[in-house]
Amino acid sequence: MSTPQTISLLCPTRGRPEQALRLALSVLNTASQPQRVELLFYVDDDDRKQSEYLEQFKTHKPKLDRFRRCGFLLGEAIGISKAWNELASRCEGNLLIMAADDQTYNDFGWDDRLDIETQKYPDEIFCMWFNEGHWQEKLCTFPIVSRKWCQTLGYFTTGLFECLYDDMWIWEIAKRVGRLHYIPDILTEHLHWGYGKAELDETYQHKQVSADKKLKPAVYRDMDLYCRTVAYRETDARRIAAVMQGKVYLYPAELMVPGKSTIFDRRDKD
């Protein structure tokens, strides 16, 4: 009998209150036990649609109250990589899932399936991912890791990148230690414009691509930075391998401090 996990989906979002709500409702409608799932969003404080997030989610509050927690962190526009880490520092789950506002959860019981799959790794070291409808087993787009993984490395995401490569960073470390685990029959569809599943809206254009579909400088900076940081991933893979070998190598747990349960947690800017 698998032990039920508490699960945190972490989603930076910008300019897309309707899509954030679509993600939330899809997660809610497909979770077998939504009371053990929390969904946390990071909203930039310069987002012109920030009030719409609160309005739309309040409309669906009776439904969303079925979650363990569903809320927003309103903070500075620090970029997606740092935003994921901010959310991770406030989440409560045993499992941390990278999520995006252009994604939907499609298959019922995905949370029960995680209970089954995580039991295969008693040391809690793994990088799992569901089928997102495009890359499938070739690449982990939305990694699922344990709290122990994050405490071992001292982070969920590195905070280094502007718009890309946080998923590949986690995927590569797990690949180096032989702990990749793909779950093919659970679809969490990535409705990305590059796959022909969405319009090229202003949110994609914010950092990644121009209106005429040319890559922006931030993409090239991330590409260059990823290539120049191989040694860091090698070091982090050694830390993960040490835990797999039974050696204790955990950072202090301040990364994983549970946050408040209000719908908006405004960060102190001082």
- Per-residue model confidence as pLDDT tens digits over 203-261: 888 888 889 989 999 999 999 999 999 999 999 999 999 999 987 666 554 444 333 33
CA distance 191 to 94: 27
Give the helix/strand (H/E) hosting 171.
helix 166-176
CA distance 118 to 148: 13
Q: What is the pLDDT of residue 252?
A: 52
Q: What is the pLDDT of residue 268?
A: 34
Single out the residue of 28, 33, 88, 31 nearest to residue 57, CA to CA: 28
Give the residue ranges of the chain where pLDDT is below 50: 253-270
CA distance 183 to 114: 9
Single out the residue of 116, 139, 135 nearest to residue 127, CA to CA: 139
pTM greater than the 0.95 cutoff = no
Give the helix/strand (H/E) hosting 187.
strand 180-190
CA distance 220 to 32: 41
- Are 185 and 131 in contact, with CB atoms under 8 Å apart? yes
